[in-house]
Amino acid sequence: MKFVLKKASNGQYRFNMVASNGQTVATSETYTRKASAMDTIASIQQRAGGATIDDQTAN
């Protein structure tokens, strides 16, 4: 899994979370500051490793 940080034509930043097979699995909102996008990436990296699944489809 990797994060790909991009700068849009309007000057804002966004990132994609890309799986090892190259498929984009998530796209962020846009950020006016690069530092804000990087902070969000760091937060996801720190917190998502132990994420659980909340399956609300079961009856």
Distance CA 21, CA 55 (A): 25
Query: What is the structure's pLDDT at 48?
Result: 85
pLDDT confidence band for 54 (50 / 70 / 90): confident
Decide if 19 is inside a domain: yes
pLDDT confidence band for 2 (50 / 70 / 90): very high
DSSP helix, strand, coil percent of the chain (3-state; round to 5): 30, 30, 40
Distance CA 39, CA 29 (A): 13
Residue 36 maps to which CATH number? 3.30.160.160
Decide if 10 is inside a domain: yes
Decide if 35 is inside a domain: yes
What pTM was computed for the model? 0.83
Domain that holds residue 37: 2-46
Q: Report the number of distinct structural domains present in the chain.
A: 1
Per-residue pLDDT of 3-53, as tens digits, reads 999 999 999 999 999 999 999 999 999 999 999 999 999 999 998 877 787
Decide if 56 is inside a domain: no
Decide if 24 is inside a domain: yes
Decide if 55 is inside a domain: no
